[in-house]
Structure 1
């Protein structure tokens, strides 16, 4: 068996994948100079995305009667809007994210041999999926940037600017800027991996707690495990408060991207362009899955905690301990999952399936409206 990847390397990989969005908060012990540099980079990245989003909005209005160009422009605008919204959410939740990620990094650094083995097993289990997903995101942008090579377009997008683009060096600058924002959008999709990493870390912590519960013999050891369970549930509540807005932004923008991007697949245009937007649609569809899958695993692992606690010889314990065990079983069945009032009762693989079904239904309705067969 080869050497396993350390959790710290998985964290570093995730940090690098979202570098263009500045979504990973600085350390709580960062100096004033480091904080100033981080703020400058964030503002630069945010202004950069807005500088393309507004011309894309103008293009949507201009091409509102051209279904094919409209579908392409809306799908690309939704990707830029998504990274812009995600950057704002991460900025507003920076203090909370800062504590969550610092605790995760600190736990990995001081993990015992057993804890490190479990963490490394999770890294090994999901490293290829996370790695391929990030690579796919950036390759999708590369395909879009190369659009002018196999189409009549001058730039990767049909964005409309209030000035002439016929002359150099402005023409090259616009091409470079659109390409940069495209990679920012890919990095914004990397935020999904950033959140998934946090959720998988929580799943590993619950698994470690289950191992400690199985080995608990005395009441004091059992009480220590129960207190840790309460701490993990409190930690999960903080994650839920941060992540639900990212989930909402992803769900809304990916739905739009899937619907309008699919118009280019059924349109009468070159096969290579159909393939390009098939890639775009697939990327948008798989993005929401990056939240649903780890959340489903986390819920299942927390339910196992209740089963493990129930299998303890609680009938031989005193009344106070039996009450604590009973409350722990109840807590394990009432995990505060990621939900959005009025929109999503519980994030899960089942809800992801409903999301895909709804997107296809909306697309069919739009296809009929614009008169495509």
Structure 2
């Protein structure tokens, strides 16, 4: 099995979000690259809108059949995330470009000791995200196979405003459903991308903690504080990039779980229950995948960094105080008392910030 390096994880994520076009590339900054990007973006986005419009029409047409209508609504809550997230990524593209460039540059130029920490923090979620995408693909494959087993003509059974009996129209509809099914899988990939950004910030904070262990003077302490402030600004950028995407995920996933549970309980055919059970597991994994790095960033690593700042600040100031106490000069005593007062005030301020 090949080694799972940060570059490998980035490459996999970049490939998985290709159809949602949320990973900016340098080629898009040129005039021709920007034109190609806009053409691809509008084709993919309009294809998703067209499919969702057909689903809404089908749900309205089957409103008398509760199970059929619920099944289509479940599909709508899952697939409507694609055009919403795609539009969000287009709006925040410059911020996304900044974060992605920062990640790639830091990974390529990281020292061996830093790469070890980055690998440790990205390897475990990287494996989870690969398995997660496998489950998402399995859910899509389950819908295709279920249609084949149940002898249904299309993977998604919806009512169209026109006849699909002719061969050409049927091929177009089937191809459109199949293509958008692949597009819908990439909806989960954008959540992986945001989670990867959060894990990157967690790893950067962990690297900073290791640097703080080796601080021996105020100059090194000042450099670590500056780096800590930069990482906090980077975290703000990641949060600004991901908050609307994650909010969309939470709202739509909650609706999908409710509708999926209804279908699992009420459906009569075992194949239908199995199909939506896989989809419900995929939706649950999406929520877990988004919450995991967020919890690590908020509760664990950031609090540990503040602890190191307090500890180092106290150790450095204590050395200065003790050196002044044992000094032979009488005017050092007043300076020592002044320094004690400063460190007490700093400790109180940091404690209040933690609260």
Q: Return the TM-score normalized by structure 1.
A: 0.84
Contact 2:17–2:186, Cα closer than 8 Å, also in 1: yes
Secondary structure in structure 2 of the residue aligned to 1:156: coil
> 1:57-103 deviations in whole A, cap 9, x for unaligned?
11111122212111210111111101111111111111111101111
Deviation at 1:124, TM superposition (A): 2.5
Structure 2 unmatched ranges of 5 or more? 322-338
The alpha carbon displacement at 1:29 in A equals: 7.5
Q: Distance in 2 between matches of 1:332 and 1:10?
A: 35
Aligned mates of 2:352, 2:31 — CA distance in 1: 41
Partner of 1:19: 18
Question: Is contact 2:77-2:252 (8 Å) kept?
Answer: yes
**What do the CA deviations read for 1:197-251 (whole angstroms, capped 9, x no partner)?**
1000000000000011111111010000011111111111111112111111111
Alpha carbons of 1:28 and 1:148: their partners in 2 closer, same or farther (altered >3 Å)? Answer: closer
Residues 268-279 of structure 1: pairs in structure 2 closer than 5 A: 268-279=267-278
2:62 aligns with 63
RMSD: 2.3
Mean CA deviation greater in 132-141 or 312-321: 312-321
Is 2:52–2:80's contact at 8 Å kept on the other side of the alignment? yes
Corresponding position of 1:236 = 235
Alpha-carbon deviation of 1:26? 2.5
Match of 2:204 in 1: 205
Contact 2:216/2:316, CA 8 A, preserved across alignment = no
Matches of 1:168 and 1:128, distance apart in 2: 43
How far apart are residue 323 of structure 1 and its match? 8.5
State the alpha-carbon separation in 2 of the partners of residues 112 and 68 from structure 1.
Answer: 57
CA distance in 2: counterparts of 1:53 and 1:330, whole angstroms: 51
Task: State how 1:129-144 maps to structure 2 within 5 Å.
Answer: 129-144=128-143
Are 1:302 and 1:332, in contact at CA under 8 Å, matched by a contact in 2? Answer: no
Contact 1:74 1:256 in 2 (8 A): no
Mapped pair 1:157 → 2:178: no
Q: Does 1:225 align with 2:221?
A: no
Contact 2:209–2:305 (CA under 8 A) maintained in structure 1? yes
SS at match of 2:80: helix
Specify the structure having the higher radius of gyration (Cα): 2
Deviation, 1:31, is: 2.1
- 5 Å-filtered alignment, 1:165-180, equals 165-180=164-179
Report the Cα offset of residue 311 of structure 1: 2.1
**Cα 1:145–1:170 shift into 2, 3 Å:** same
CA distance in 2, matches of 1:37, 1:192: 25
Q: 1:161 offset after TM fit, Å?
A: 2.4
| Matched residue count | 333
Q: Is the 8 A contact 2:217 2:316 kept in 1?
A: no
Partner Cα separation in structure 2 for residue 156 and residue 331 of structure 1: 57
Separation in 2 of the partners of 1:184 and 1:325? 53
Contact 1:28 1:99 in 2 (8 A): no
Q: What does residue 310 of structure 1 align with?
A: 310
SS at match of 1:25: coil
Distance of aligned partners of 1:75 and 1:97 in 2 relative to their CA distance in 1, 3 Å threshold: same
* TM-score (normalizing by structure 2): 0.88
Quote the Cα distance in structure 1 between the aligned partners of 2:135 and 2:349: 41
Q: 1:342 maps to what in 2?
A: none
| Aligned-partner Cα distance in 1 for 2:277–2:349 | 47
- Is the 1:309–1:328 contact (alpha carbons within 8 Å) kept by the matching residues of 2? no
